[in-house]
Copies of this chain bind each other. A is one copy, B any other.
């Protein structure tokens, strides 16, 4: 049994298709109340559910908003997704999800799929990359996006413009002041930490990571500190863990406390997790700060110093919500970078 159609409803109510349509879906023309009532009754009796596909086809507007993330189970993206979801809800739309694990090629396919579904707008979260292996993918992605925009689509990108995208109509970037905030974090840390700094970053070419590294270094420089050494690894917990493992001996051997900046929270957690079984305690033997202020991680101990980012707002902004304030982060210094009492003075 297929779902009942509008024409069935119209027939049962004894009215024309047009009238039934006008009654059931908001039209500017309002049929008389008695007729409307008859139509509604008929629809109710048949359990009529309008076919959104057909509506979309007829009106050429799908009520869909596409969301592209690396991994929906990553709390960073999940938080953004929540914001997008909320904005969609307000706009009376639904969100279409695509996970791509960050490959530009996959993202291109996702954009094409969204375009095929005639999504009203597309949100791309997740860091852009200029790595060589992504070059071809980036070009194709940019072309696909460009085409989508020219066909009237709206695109919201979190963080950085898609590499090579010519800024066309309907394309907007939610800027995240990664560099400034990282600089701020460095400044705050430099105020109390007197030893070396070390940065655990994602792979080179990842914009978000690179921005944060640059900002942090600038902050250090402004504070009159020497540049920090940079270790490159995966942009996730596993990457942090690995780096932590590699670092343990060095920390234990050194007399001075090291201040580690991991370019995102989950990496910082990974570092901490690797260091702990090695007997390296935070903040006693080393201090560490992250970035993002992931909600699920706030109960970690030692509480992680980080930079708070309004991820939900970012999602809302990218989804085109006009009432959301612009992105502004806040440095949160917590226990993980506290200077222990015995080493003060």
Residue of B nearest to A54 (CB): B57
Q: Please, what's the 1-or-0 string for A53-67, where 1 marks a CB less than 8 Å from any CB in chain B?
A: 110110010100001
Asked if residues A296 and B299 are in contact (CB atoms below 8 Å), the reply is no
Chain B residues in 8 Å Cβ range of A270 = 299
In-complex Cβ contact of A299 among B60, B82, B269 (8 A): B269
Residue of A51, A53, A273 most packed against chain B (CB within 10 A): A53
Chain B residues in 8 Å Cβ range of A312 = 73
Asked if residues B81 and A73 are in contact (CB atoms below 8 Å), the reply is yes
| A 44-85 contacts with B by CB, 8 A | 47, 49-54, 56-57, 60, 62, 67, 71-75, 78-79, 81-82, 85
- Please tell me if A95 contacts chain B, counting CB pairs below 8 Å: yes
Known contacts A73-B75, A296-B75, A296-B296: A97-B81 contact under CB 8 Å? yes
Identical copies in the complex? 2
Asked if residues B98 and A94 are in contact (CB atoms below 8 Å), the reply is yes
Chain B residues in 8 Å Cβ range of A62 = 53
**Number of residues on chain A facing chain B (CB within 8 A):** 58
Q: Please, what's the 1-or-0 string for A293-330, where 1 marks a CB less than 8 Å from any CB in chain B?
A: 01111011100000000001000000000000000000
With A3-B151, A72-B81, A94-B98 already in contact, 18 other A-B pairs whose C-beta atoms are closer than 8 Å: A49-B112, A49-B115, A51-B57, A51-B118, A52-B117, A53-B53, A53-B117, A72-B85, A73-B78, A73-B295, A81-B97, A85-B98, A89-B99, A94-B96, A266-B296, A296-B297, A300-B300, A301-B301
For this complex, 11 residue pairs linking A to B, each with C-beta atoms less than 8 Å apart, are A3-B118, A49-B147, A50-B116, A52-B117, A53-B57, A72-B72, A73-B78, A85-B99, A269-B299, A273-B299, A276-B301
